[in-house]
Every structure is written in structure tokens, then in C-alpha cells.
Amino acid sequence: MSDNKTRKRQWLSAWLAGGAGLTAVATIVGASVRRSVTQRAALVEDPYADEDFETLDSDRSYVVTTPDGVPLAVREFGPPDAQVTVVFVHGFCLRMGAFYFQRKRLAEKWGPRLRMVSYDQRGHGLSGEASPETYTLTQVGRDLESVLNEVAPDGVIVLVGHSMGGMTVLSHARQHPEHYGHRIVGAALISSAAEGVTRSPLGEILKNPAVEAFRFTARSAPKLMHRGRNVSRSLIGPVLRAASYSDLQVSRSLDAFSQRMMNGTPIPTLLGFLNALELHDETAGLWTLMKIPTLIACGDHDLITPDEYSRKMAASLPQSDLVIVNGASHLALLDKPEAINEGLIRLVNRAVPGRMALRYRKVRERLRRHG
């Protein structure tokens, strides 16, 4: 039997073994998708019909190339010499536009005193794809360091991570504790977890033989994986979509925007980072975050990273501000952004010192770098 036939038989066997279980999970949570679509169709008005969710495309753009050669798409808004730089790190199967409402609110609040930087993680959005073995939390923590060195060599930084982006911040904190309390003065972890996502509904997907079949095929027979991309999306996609919003009245425009982000994620990226989420344990990064003010936020209906994970992280961080958003799910930053936005404003107020202290900090940082 040829290698291709053997791979195909292995793929089909695992898919048949796990497909029923995975489909059952998708069916249970996917029921809310069908109800949601029905109710959304009945809405007379869409509150976000006039919002341009692609606003970031008009921001200053450039590329940061990582040491292993992956181009990361970066967008920047606000004056380059602003006192503070806020860096947004998006989550799994999303892209930098996920912070649309946070960018808008912080710009209104702080104006020219704040610069905001967003980037697409490797394999997501406009950034380049990479070797599947690099889709790890350790690697994306390194990518964040590359971005910070390029976009914010001076001044103070506040990091904001959502979902896997929060795990990226923790990974960076584990690898670069020396930056925290000096260069990095605040951090927000939104709808995230330091460990243990295998206990959530996402974990049921991760443990399913069908997902392992897709992973095996992506590694050994990428052409076959390409032909099966619609199958994998049909099994995993409903779970991610159903977990995104808890409110059946969510805006049609907002729902369409989030689905475009998810559907635009390449299958190798999806499968590679699923594996990273399964293995992740970034609790060591929490020790570093003890040095600085933090915002820990989550929706109380989050199926991907339930609020128990946020409560546990907040309990370990003495300078944390815990925000549980009532009625929100995993995309609380888009679905019910007000509480998240106000939490970020409080974080910046707590993390950033007065103007004179900022000047002194900049001088001290230059002296430290140049010996």
C-alpha cells in the first residue's frame, strides 16, 4: 500500500473514531448558534451597522521580522513620541482588529498622550505563516519581545492580551522578567488563563481523536489536509462561534466581523495552536506580574476560559483589578466592551506615573541601556 493511501486510511480511521464525539460537542454548543442566527435575523436595527471594524487598516503600518524570518504585520495609532505605548496582543483564531472598541475608547480618553500598537500573531491575519513546530506559547512570547524592541525602544509600556494573547503576555513575562516594573509598567489579561484550558469545553475538542487526525494529516500529508479544510472548519468552527457570544441579540455586523477573523485563520495555524493551548502552563509568568498593576477580566458566560481561571489569577496578583463582565462570553472585549474599556483606563491610571516621574524614568532607562 502506498504512503498516501496509508496516511489517508489513518486519517479516516481517526476521524471516524472521533468525529462522532466532536460532532456531538459541536451540536450541543452549535444549537446556540442556530438560535442566535434566527433571533439576529429578527432584529430591526443593528447598533453597529455603521461601525468600520477594519479601521486599523488605515493606521500607520509596517512589518517586524522575527529572528526566524516570520513577517509580523504591525499597526500603530497615536504620536510616536507619546508618553505611554499600549501594545495589544490578540487571541487564537483572531487578529489585531479584535481590539476595535478598546482602540477607539482609549484614543478618546487619552488622545496624543497615548500611542497604541497592534500586531497579528504568526500565522494569523496579515502576518506570515510559519513552521507548525513554532506555533508554541514560548515562541509567541519571543515574537512579542521582537515587536517591543522594534516599536517601543523608549518609554513605558502597558501590555493588553486577550485569550491566547494573554497567555503570550505571560510567556513573555516568564522569559523576560527584567522588563517588568521598569519598561513594562502594567498588563491586562482578558478572557485568558495561566493553565488548564483542557478542563473547559475547548478541552473536549483537544482530547478528541478527530483533532489528532487533522494534526497528523497536517504534518504528514498537507495536500490532503488542504482538501479537508472545510471538514475541520465544520467540526471546530461551530464550537468557537458558539463560545464567542452569550447574548442572542449580538449585533449582526459584530458577529460577521468575528466570523471573518475565525474563518480567515489557516488550518495549520488553527491546529498548531490548539496543541499549544493543550500543553500550556504559563503560571511562572504570574510571579513576574506581581511587580506591576494588572487588569484581569472575563465574561461570566465564557465557555473557553471560564471565569474561575481569571479569579484564580487575580487572587495570586496583589495589584490586580478583577472585572467579571455580566452576560459576556469569550469575546467580551467585542460583545460588551464598556467594562473592559473602563478597566483599561483604570489600569493606565494606576500604572503610569506623573509627567515628571515619566521624564525621570526615561532618563534612567537611557542610562541603564547605555551603561
Query: How confident is the model over 141-169, as pLDDT tens digits?
Result: 999 999 999 999 888 999 999 999 999 99
- Average pLDDT, stretch 256-270? 86
198 or 108, higher pLDDT: 108
Of 159, 132, 126, nearest to 68 by C-alpha is 132
Predicted pLDDT at 312: 95
271 or 134, higher pLDDT: 134
- Average pLDDT, stretch 318-342? 95
- Average pLDDT, stretch 221-234? 50
Q: Assign residue 287 a region: left if phi > 0, alpha if psi is -120 to 50, beta otherwise?
A: alpha
307 or 197, higher pLDDT: 307
Predicted pLDDT at 119: 98
108 or 249, higher pLDDT: 108
Q: What is the rounded distance in angstroms from the CA atom of residue 45 to the CA atom of residue 31?
A: 24
pLDDT at residue 175 is higher than 50:
yes
Per-residue model confidence as pLDDT tens digits over 52-68? 888 777 789 999 999 99
Per-residue model confidence as pLDDT tens digits over 312-325? 999 999 999 999 99
pLDDT at residue 35 is higher than 80:
no
Of 2, 46, 32, nearest to 253 by C-alpha is 46
For residue 15, with 0-12 CB atoms within 10 Å meaning exposed, 13-18 middle and 19 or more buried, which class applies? Answer: buried
Predicted pLDDT at 83: 85
Predicted pLDDT at 243: 65
Q: Which residue has the cell 506580574?
A: 289
pLDDT at residue 291 is higher than 90:
yes
- Local structure of residue 55 (DSSP, 8 states): G
Q: What angle do CA 291, 151, 161 make, to 5 degrees?
A: 50
Coil/strand/helix, residue 16: helix
Predicted pLDDT at 332: 94
Element (H, E) at 323: strand 320-325
Per-residue model confidence as pLDDT tens digits over 79-106? 988 889 999 999 999 999 999 999 999 9
Q: What is the rounded distance in angstroms from the CA atom of residue 218 to the CA atom of residue 271?
A: 8
- Local structure of residue 317 (DSSP, 8 states): -
Of 320, 289, 228, 199, nearest to 7 by C-alpha is 228
Coil/strand/helix, residue 160: strand
pLDDT band with cut points at 50, 70 and 90 for residue 112: confident
Coil/strand/helix, residue 296: strand
**Percent residues over pLDDT 70 in the chain:** 70
- Average pLDDT, stretch 197-203? 64
- Local structure of residue 210 (DSSP, 8 states): H
pLDDT at residue 354 is higher than 80:
no
Predicted pLDDT at 38: 45
- Average pLDDT, stretch 20-37? 42
pLDDT at residue 267 is higher than 90:
no
- Average pLDDT, stretch 188-217? 71
pLDDT band with cut points at 50, 70 and 90 for residue 109: very high
pLDDT at residue 28 is higher than 50:
no
Q: What angle do CA 242, 247, 252 make, to 5 degrees?
A: 80
pLDDT at residue 350 is higher than 70:
yes
Predicted pLDDT at 360: 53
N residues, the chain:
371
Domains of the chain: 3-370 (3.40.50.1820)
Rounded to two decimals, the pTM is: 0.82
What residues contact residue 133 under an 8 Å CB cut-off, 6+ apart? 272
For residue 322, with 0-12 CB atoms within 10 Å meaning exposed, 13-18 middle and 19 or more buried, which class applies? Answer: middle
pLDDT at residue 276 is higher than 60:
yes
